[in-house]
Structure formats: C-alpha cells, structure tokens
C-alpha cells in the first residue's frame, strides 16, 4: 500500500482564517476585516494505492475556481483566491500516473468545500462517499448561502452516504471501515464543518492521517489552535484534542490539505510525535 500526495494548485486565504482570533461571531467575522493574506499554500488530494482498489481522498481544486471573483458570495468573492490550470487538476495528474477514470474504485470526501470537491468531474465511474450531514449542509440554495458551490457538482453527482458507526477507533468514538482489511478507516472530525471526516490509513506500524481541513497545518493541531471558520469552538477544540491523543497513541504522519510541509512529511514518513520531540529538543 502506498499513499501519494497530489497537489492541485495553490490557494491563499486570510491569516485570520488559518488561526482564529477572538471568539464567537467576531472570530468568524475577523476573516472579512483582516487585510493580511497567507502565502500561496498547496491544495492536496490523496491517492491510496490499496490492494482492494485505489481510493482517492478529496478531489482538490478545479480550474473553474478561477472564476470565483464573479460569485455573489462575499467569502468566495473576496476572501479566497486560487491558482490552478487544467493540467494541475486531479484527472490529468492521475492520467500522467497511468490511471484512468475507471481505475479509481472509490472517492471519499472529507467535506464539500470548493477546494475539496473541485475535481469531482474526473470521477464519473467511481463510488463517491460523503457524510450525509455534509451533503445536506452543502446542497441547494442554502448550501450556496453557506459558501458551497453545489451548482458546480457534475449532474451525475449522487454520493453514497458515509455513515459512521459507534465503533471506536483509538480515541475516536465513531468510525467506518473503508476496506475489508480494516486498514483504511474514516473517523468523525467535526469542527471545520459540522460533519467533517478524516481518513486514516494504517500501513505497517504507521498511521497516515488524511486530515482535510481539521487544521491548516500540523503546528496548529499540536498547539490546539482553532481556525477562523469553525462554527462551534468546543467541538473543534475537542476534535483537535482527539487527533493529538491519536498521534500520541501511535506513530502518525499528519497530512492536512493545505500544509506546505505535508508532502515532505509523507516522503520522509515524519511522524507528528517525533516532530514535537524534535522541537522540544531544539528548545532545550
Ligand atoms: Zn474547508
């Protein structure tokens, strides 16, 4: 089994979205008043080359996102910017690896924000799994008001419900096995969105934690710092805490969608706990 990072262009957002400022509504409004942008950061999708079939986690950005300046939604219009061309979309990149649309058995979406579902059109033949609550939140006019782009979903988009069951996986109370071998598991990581999920790949003694947007980088997760968009601070904080406990329970390579260091950590199999230990050695 192998996990690969597939970078689908770059995004930049406001610094107040990466690390929330203040509490409650003012934390969420801070994004709109913050004049400061992050650097361009990558948007990764993930390929799990599994003996039971290839699984893709998130589909990344699409070139259509370059038109978000025309959107009526204030966040989409003013608070996020994308860099991507058609050849950087996930479809052409998989083709370059020798994989066609029929070669991907399953696509699992951590959530339905536009930089995660932007490559859906490349997977007309795959089984697509989405948490039912997330689908409901993102659908229709109400979804558009929340900043989702359901009008951009392919006409055939009709995902299967990714229902979690009360089967603990480490410190996570609910989970769902995605392979018969039980080595690829979805866990609930609510916060960034209410029904956000993450996917854990267990290979040998190492866990690869495909974290979506649970945090924008590893440091923020280890420090337990919330982003600027999570609706419920308690829920988000509890999720970061659970992830931290998971990383302490076994060697874990933590891979958020927009962490510039994620690809390097994956290549080196650098685990979160060792990173922390290395930092404390550096401080001593
Ligand atoms: Zn997101």
Confidence at 283, pLDDT banded by 50, 70, 90: low
What percent of the chain shows pLDDT beyond 70? Answer: 96
Q: In this structure, what DSSP letter does residue 159 have?
A: P
Q: Where are the domains of the chain?
A: 2-283
For 170-212, what is each residue's pLDDT tens digit? 999 999 999 999 999 999 999 999 999 999 999 999 999 999 9
Give distance in angstroms: CA of 196 to centre of ligand 1: 9
Tokens of 115: 């930089």
Confidence at 231, pLDDT banded by 50, 70, 90: confident
Give distance in angstroms: CA of 152 to centre of ligand 1: 16
For 247-260, what is each residue's pLDDT tens digit? 999 999 999 999 99
Confidence at 276, pLDDT banded by 50, 70, 90: low
Give the fold, CATH level 3, of 2-283. Metallo-beta-lactamase; Chain A (3.60.15)
Report pLDDT for 260.
Answer: 97
- Give counts: helices (H), strands (E), the chain: 10, 12
Give distance in angstroms: CA of 192 to centre of ligand 1: 7
For 66-104, what is each residue's pLDDT tens digit? 988 778 788 888 889 999 999 999 999 999 999 998 999
Give distance in angstroms: CA of 213 to centre of ligand 1: 5
Torsion of CA 65, 45, 197, 272, to 10 degrees: -130
Greatest mean pLDDT range, 15-29, 44-58, 268-282: 44-58
pTM of model > 0.85: yes
Residue 244 has pLDDT above 50, yes or no: yes
CB atoms within 10 A of CB 223: 12
Report pLDDT for 74.
Answer: 87
Q: Which whole number is the average pLDDT over 11-29?
A: 88
Helices 272-283 & 233-249, crossing angle to 10 degrees? 90
Length of the chain, in residues: 284
Mean pLDDT of the chain: 93
Report pLDDT for 282.
Answer: 44
For 27-54, what is each residue's pLDDT tens digit? 888 888 889 999 999 999 999 999 999 9
Give distance in angstroms: CA of 281 to centre of ligand 1: 33
Sign of the CA dihedral 189, 192, 196, 202? negative
Give distance in angstroms: CA of 103 to centre of ligand 1: 27
Q: How far apart (Å, rounded) are the C-alpha atoms in residues 212 and 223?
A: 17
């Amino acid at each position: 089994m192998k996990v690969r990072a597939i970078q689908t262009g770059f995004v930049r957002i406001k610094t107040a979205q990466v690390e929330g400022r203040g509490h409650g509504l003012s934390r969420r409004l801070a994004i709109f008043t913050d004049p400061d942008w992050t650097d361009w950061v990558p948007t990764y999708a993930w390929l799990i080359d599994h003996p039971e079939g290839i699984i893709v986690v998130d589909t990344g950005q699409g070139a259509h996102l370059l038109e978000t300046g025309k959107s009526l939604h204030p966040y989409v219009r003013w608070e996020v910017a994308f860099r991507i061309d058609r050849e950087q979309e996930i479809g052409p990149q998989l083709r370059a690896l020798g994989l066609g649309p029929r070669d991907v058995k399953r696509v699992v979406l951590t959530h339905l924000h536009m930089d995660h579902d932007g490559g859906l059109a490349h997977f007309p033949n795959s089984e697509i799994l989405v948490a039912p609550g997330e689908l409901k939140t993102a659908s229709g006019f109400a979804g558009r008001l929340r900043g989702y782009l359901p009008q951009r979903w392919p006409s055939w988009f009709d995902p299967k419900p990714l229902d979690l069951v009360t089967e603990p996986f480490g410190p996570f109370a609910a989970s769902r096995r995605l392979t018969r071998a039980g080595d690829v598991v979805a866990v609930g990581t609510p916060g960034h969105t209410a029904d956000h999920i993450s996917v854990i790949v267990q290979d040998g003694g190492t866990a690869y934690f495909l974290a979506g947007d649970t945090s924008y980088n590893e440091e923020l997760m280890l420090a337990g710092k919330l982003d600027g968009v999570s609706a419920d601070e308690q829920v988000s904080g509890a999720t970061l805490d659970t992830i931290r406990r998971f990383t302490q329970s076994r060697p874990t390579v933590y891979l958020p969608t927009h962490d510039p260091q994620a690809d390097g950590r994956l290549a080196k199999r650098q685990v979160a706990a060792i990173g922390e230990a290395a930092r404390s050695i550096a401080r001593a």
